[in-house]
Amino acid sequence: MALLMRLLTLALALSVGPAGTLAGPAKSPYQLVLQHSRLRGRQHGPNVCAVQKVIGTNKKYFTNCKQWYQRKICGKSTVISYECCPGYEKVPGEKGCPAALPLSNLYETMGVVGSTTTQLYTDRTEKLRPEMEGPGSFTIFAPSNEAWSSLPAEVLDSLVSNVNIELLNALRYHMVDRRVLTDELKHGMTLTSMYQNSNIQIHHYPNGIVTVNCARLLKADHHATNGVVHLIDKVISTITNNIQQIIEIEDTFETLRAAVAASGLNTVLEGDGQFTLLAPTNEAFEKIPAETLNRILGDPEALRDLLNNHILKSAMCAEAIVAGMSMETLGGTTLEVGCSGDKLTINGKAVISNKDILATNGVIHFIDELLIPDSAKTLLELAGESDVSTAIDILKQAGLDTHLSGKEQLTFLAPLNSVFKDGVPRIDAQMKTLLLNHMVKEQLASKYLYSGQTLDTLGGKKLRVFVYRNSLCIENSCIAAHDKRGRFGTLFTMDRMLTPPMGTVMDVLKGDNRFSMLVAAIQSAGLMEILNREGVYTVFAPTNEAFQAMPPEELNKLLANAKELTNILKYHIGDEILVSGGIGALVRLKSLQGDKLEVSSKNNVVSVNKEPVAETDIMATNGVVYAINTVLQPPGCFSFLSSQPTTRTRR
């Protein structure tokens, strides 16, 4: 019995929704937004909805959570008003909207929702009003009075001049011969109208906006005795052409037409689906340098990438865009589609000149600027749009920029402009070689790099890859921004100039006069072989200044004791390669002596055991060297270094 009661309790819990209501089908986005508007309006009484009105316009929206707090739609400020929710009305002397609207037929309901002009035109036809007042079950998408008044005069004249054919057909196109509520209006579906069974396109967006042939539902689900009325903000018309056919007949798409034909995308644009074509006009193509445009038009892959970047995977009507949103293209890239007042924007720029041209398989927006994806650009073009322009200028001065504009498969390791804040290097043979060593001989993607990988450069060097928890580095330089992958090359934005290794750790130490005493100590301790052979070491190398800071008797005692000297020197050698860009806040690095070194970085100053490093990232073929101005003391080791002065030379 106890088990049975637990099962019954569980079943009841699963059948109960929020606030104790019985759980039913999931609400549509429109219903969720309406529900939120009810919640925001409930303090004003039952069945009151909060509505946001864009200041300076007649545009009103039921409010969702984000819009409620931002108080903006398409970047424009809004004011909140409180109105009766659909289907309810006020009662004199009572709070809110307690009374349900009395049901009447479709014709009378249109007047209630603000479509009296539709009533007027219905009266002018001989057949439609009796049908709207008679038995049956219909849906009418009734244009608002403002929608009718905004029609071009010539269009309206053609309708009213032949009321029993043109006007009647236009009104019947707004009707469906069954009751259809918003919860049945699914994104991408079509409804069969009462005019020659012509299709009506429905889109129901995640933000709660519902459109009918790109006309927005203003007031939805107004029940009538013989159907339902939805108030919309435009007069809609039949759709006959697909996207490709519209491109064929529009004069402003002459260049686009040729590009689509050359790419073979015409089969996509005339096929089934629901797309958004951001259609570049002839003017948009003319803005592109002739050399760039000819290169893309002559490269089938780049051309296809270009055009795919103008096709969104779903139909996006202008009325559905009330804030910025990321939309995926056929090419797999994302575009930020947004709005600023009445203007639509792409990636923040108002480039859409004509919107909501409907096709049977989607919608077209005219744009006056070409959206060239990275995948259709040369490395030189990619770099010109990034924060690496100084590196490009240096390449041009060195005569090496042609590598970035051709068809070579390359990855350019481009230092940020900030790297050169103290001035640009002089161009000589050595600098040219260094620049060539910033070009890797294949087109890479950083997400596929792995620690220990080696990369061949045009300058003949092999560069090593180091992967750390929060950074990805190539030699001493770490990647500072996401890859930009072009047609033939990839751009890696780097946080400093590369310094390719020039020899082993011992070669580095021997070649720098600052380390002559350390080299002698290493020889005495018998560690030269270790630091000359292949390996992965991080060496914190005390300078001559560090040794000279020790009292002479202590230094002599240390140098005379091979065992203790070896122990001290091994404590200065980490057993992996740690470049400064991989340190983060703190890394505990195991030394060859066995104890761990605490390596930290703060405000661009690297420290080891809290002692500042004088110079970082001196690269060697088997490790990396840091110059330090102190001799480090292993934990618990006091025999030789206890008398060293605490004052340290700082960088």
The one-character DSSP state at 175 is: E
**Pick among 2.30.180.10, 3.40.50.450, 2.70.98.30, 3.10.100.10: CATH of 505-628:** 2.30.180.10
Half-sphere exposure of 43 (CA within 13 A, CB side): 3
Residue type, 458: L
Q: What is the pLDDT of residues 363-382, one digit of tens each?
A: 999 999 999 999 999 999 99
11 band by pLDDT with thresholds 50, 70 and 90: very low
Q: What is the pLDDT of residues 551-603, one digit of tens each?
A: 998 899 989 898 999 999 999 999 999 999 999 889 999 999 999 999 999 99
The one-character DSSP state at 166 is: I
Q: What is the pLDDT of residue 528?
A: 94
Q: What mean pLDDT comes out for the span 54-75?
A: 89
Burial letters 416-429, b for 16+ CB under 10 A, else e: bbebbeeeeeeeee
Q: What is the pLDDT of residue 386?
A: 87
Q: Which of 160-174, 332-346, 429-443 has the lowest mean pLDDT?
A: 332-346
- For residue 309, give the nearest of 378, 405, 374 by alpha carbon: 374
> Which alpha helices (H) appear in 429-560, and where do they start and end?
429-436, 505-510, 516-525, 528-532, 544-548, 552-560
Q: What is the pLDDT of residue 342?
A: 85
State the sign of the Cα–Cα–Cα–Cα dihedral 522, 525, 529, 530: negative
Helix (H, G, I), strand (E, B) or coil at 608: strand
> Which alpha helices (H) appear in 71-115, and where do they start and end?
106-113
Asked whether the predicted pLDDT for residue 213 surpasses 70, the reply is yes
Secondary structure (DSSP) of 121-162: HHHHSSSHHHHHHSSS-EEEEEEPHHHHHTS-HHHHHHHHTT
9 band by pLDDT with thresholds 50, 70 and 90: very low
Q: What is the pLDDT of residue 637?
A: 59
Task: Say if residues 164 and 125 touch (Cβ distance below 8 Å).
Answer: yes
- CA–CA gap between residue 461 and residue 451 (Å, rounded): 17
Asked whether the predicted pLDDT for residue 294 surpasses 70, the reply is yes
Return the axis-axis angle of helices 300-308 and 290-297, rounded to nearest 10°: 100
Tell me which residue has tokens 């008003």.
Answer: 81
Q: What is the pLDDT of residue 292?
A: 94
Where are the domains positioned within the chain?
Answer: 29-99, 102-232, 243-372, 377-494, 505-628
Classify burial at 108, counting beta carbons within 10 Å of its beta carbon; exposed 0-12, middle 13-18, buried 19 or more: middle
Asked whether the predicted pLDDT for residue 496 surpasses 80, the reply is yes
- For residue 303, give the nearest of 345, 272, 242, 259 by alpha carbon: 259
Mean confidence (pLDDT) of the chain: 91
Architecture of domain 377-494: Roll (2.30)
Tokens of 451: 């620690």
> Is the CATH number of domain 102-232 3.40.50.2300?
no
Secondary structure of 300-312 in HEC code, one letter for each residue = HHHHHHHHHCCEE
- CA–CA gap between residue 341 and residue 420 (Å, rounded): 41
Q: What mean pLDDT comes out for the span 400-424?
A: 94
648 band by pLDDT with thresholds 50, 70 and 90: very low
Residue type, 609: N
Q: What mean pLDDT comes out for the span 350-368?
A: 94
Secondary structure (DSSP) of 222-270: EEETTEEEEEESS--------HHHHHHH-GGGHHHHHHHHHHTTHHHHT
Asked whether the predicted pLDDT for residue 307 surpasses 60, the reply is yes
Q: Let me know if the fold of 102-232 is the same as that of 505-628.
A: yes
Burial letters 146-169, b for 16+ CB under 10 A, else e: ebbeeeeeeebeebeeebeeebbb
24 band by pLDDT with thresholds 50, 70 and 90: low
State the sign of the Cα–Cα–Cα–Cα dihedral 383, 387, 388, 390: positive
Alpha carbon 459 to its chain's center: 35
Task: Say if residues 422 and 504 touch (Cβ distance below 8 Å).
Answer: no
State the sign of the Cα–Cα–Cα–Cα dihedral 448, 414, 404, 336: positive
Residue type, 137: S
Classify burial at 327, counting beta carbons within 10 Å of its beta carbon; exposed 0-12, middle 13-18, buried 19 or more: middle
Architecture of domain 243-372: Roll (2.30)
Q: What mean pLDDT comes out for the span 298-306?
A: 96
Q: What mean pLDDT comes out for the span 34-47?
A: 95
| Percent of residues, the chain, with pLDDT higher than 90 | 83
The one-character DSSP state at 500 is: -
Q: What is the pLDDT of residues 506-528, one digit of tens each?
A: 999 999 999 999 999 999 999 99
The sheet with strand 410-415 has its strands ordered as 439-440, 410-415, 489-494, 484-485
Tokens of 254: 């002459």
